[in-house]
């Protein structure tokens, strides 16, 4: 943030306005730390505030923008620099952040780079596979990587020029091991086994889960708009071609889009044994989606109101699972239990759960029964940690009992 403060102060000084550092820091700190506004958007907001306060036009402040130089993506290396680029949009990522209009990857002949188009910029939307001239975009550094941002001073113009991006051609992307994936924005081929498919209620996602090889495991997302006909199955082995590496919440993952393809292979891949997380804590909540559920017989997704996000209305297959929250008093941890482990700890078998629901004409009775049996007790769980969950493979009831702490934790869980 110190660099940002200096940039803002120096730019205003060039215009004859000396703004105290403390005033700039105060506004930036409030936006970035308190309100979690992205740094580039916070910087723009602070600049606009002082432009109004000192009656300076944007043309004055951003003067000389017509002289911004064209650069190649591989040459982008300086935080805060304004540049022009001619790039192809090689991928658009799904985005649910209200302040962001579009986010994805741009590329030219030299490299790829992440771009963010802020909603407040009100610039035209772009399409995958098309080439554009981007003017007056700002280079920034995030988590040690360069990216470019489009704001109100930026412009976009579609061009008929085509840019050949080598790494998008099928067969060109390198075949890598999972453990070798270390950077976002790279095109890769990958052989692996589908370790797990996760429940998904996002219509824009076709399938999501874990793929692994002998070196490691990694999350994958197959976007619905990719229209890849292959339906992935847990335990089967596949070759992913032209998948794209990306980063989300500090973790690398791979995504499959319209340039990607999937091929089932006969190779038998042994997935590296995972290191288990172990946690002893109180169970303070059993969440919705627990108890007796139905799954799609084709893709194993859980059904919502009798429908699968991929296959529509289907005759579901009953299953039992537990989604719960453990709390140590300092951290809250989501856990997920499959049928066998759920039966073991709850004492309710799948057959018994089906009978309970049939008697009450309500599947919800199974969830309530599990809450009565499990909440307020201590457990030790172990299993791989994936995203926010521990995927529990073993669970043991503990005799630890701190009535005061339990009451406090359960009350807090009920509030949220």
> Is the pLDDT score of 303 beyond 60?
yes
CA distance 409 to 327: 7
Output the CA torsion sign for 199, 202, 203, 205: negative
For residues 146 and 366, the model is more confident at 366
Tell how strand 205-212 and strand 187-197 pair up: antiparallel
Give the pLDDT confidence of 205-248 residue by residue, as tens digits. Answer: 899 999 999 988 899 999 888 889 999 999 999 999 989 888 77
- Residue 324's H or E segment, with its range, is strand 317-327
Structure tokens at 369: 């029964």
Band of residue 156 on the pLDDT scale cut at 50, 70, 90 = very high
CA distance 318 to 363: 11
Pairing of strands 389-392, 385-386: antiparallel
Q: Report pLDDT digits (tens) over 365-411.
A: 999 999 999 998 999 999 887 767 888 999 999 876 555 655 665 56
- Residue 130 φ then ψ, to 5°: -95, 155
**3-state class (DSSP) for residue 136:** strand
Q: How far apart are CA 379 and CA 359, in angstroms?
A: 31
Q: Name the 3-class secondary structure at 341.
A: helix
The model's pTM = 0.42
């Amino acid at each position: 943030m110190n660099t940002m403060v200096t940039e803002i102060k120096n730019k205003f000084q060039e215009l004859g306005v000396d703004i105290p550092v403390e005033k700039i820091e105060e506004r930036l700190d409030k936006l970035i730390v308190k309100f979690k506004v992205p740094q580039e958007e916070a910087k723009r907001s602070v600049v606009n505030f002082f432009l109004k306060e000192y009656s300076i036009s944007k043309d004055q402040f951003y003067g000389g923008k017509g002289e911004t130089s064209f650069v190649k993506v591989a040459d982008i290396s300086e935080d805060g620099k304004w540049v022009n680029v001619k790039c192809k949009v090689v991928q658009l990522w799904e985005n649910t952040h209200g302040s962001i209009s579009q986010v994805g990857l741009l590329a030219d002949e030299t490299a790829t780079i992440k771009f963010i188009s802020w909603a407040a910029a009100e610039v035209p939307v772009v399409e995958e596979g098309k080439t554009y001239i981007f003017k007056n975009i700002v280079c920034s550094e995030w988590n040690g990587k360069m990216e470019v941002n489009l704001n109100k001073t930026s412009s976009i113009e579609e061009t008929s020029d085509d840019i050949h991006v080598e790494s998008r051609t099928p067969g060109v992307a390198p075949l890598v091991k999972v453990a070798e994936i270390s950077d976002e924005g790279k095109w890769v081929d990958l052989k692996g086994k589908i370790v797990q498919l996760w429940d998904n209620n996002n219509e824009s996602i076709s399938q999501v889960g874990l793929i692994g090889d002998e070196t490691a495991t990694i999350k994958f997302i197959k976007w619905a708009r990719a229209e890849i006909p292959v339906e992935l199955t847990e335990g089967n082995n596949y070759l992913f071609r032209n998948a794209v590496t990306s980063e989300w919440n500090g973790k690398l993952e791979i995504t499959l889009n319209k340039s990607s393809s999937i091929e089932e292979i006969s190779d038998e891949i042994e997935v590296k044994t995972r290191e288990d997380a172990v946690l002893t804590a109180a169970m303070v909540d059993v969440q919705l989606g627990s108890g007796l559920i139905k799954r799609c017989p084709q893709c194993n997704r859980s059904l919502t109101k009798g429908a699968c996000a991929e296959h529509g209305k289907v005759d579901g297959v009953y299953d039992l699972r537990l989604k719960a929250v453990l709390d140590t008093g300092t951290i809250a941890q989501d856990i997920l239990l499959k049928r066998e482990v759920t039966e073991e700890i709850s004492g309710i078998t799948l057959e018994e759960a089906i009978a309970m629901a049939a008697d009450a004409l309500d599947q919800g009775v199974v969830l309530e029964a599990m809450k009565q049996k499990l909440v307020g007790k201590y457990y030790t769980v172990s299993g791989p940690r994936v995203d926010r969950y521990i995927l529990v493979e073993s669970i043991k009831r503990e005799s630890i009992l701190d009535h005061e702490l339990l009451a406090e934790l359960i009350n807090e869980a009920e509030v949220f």
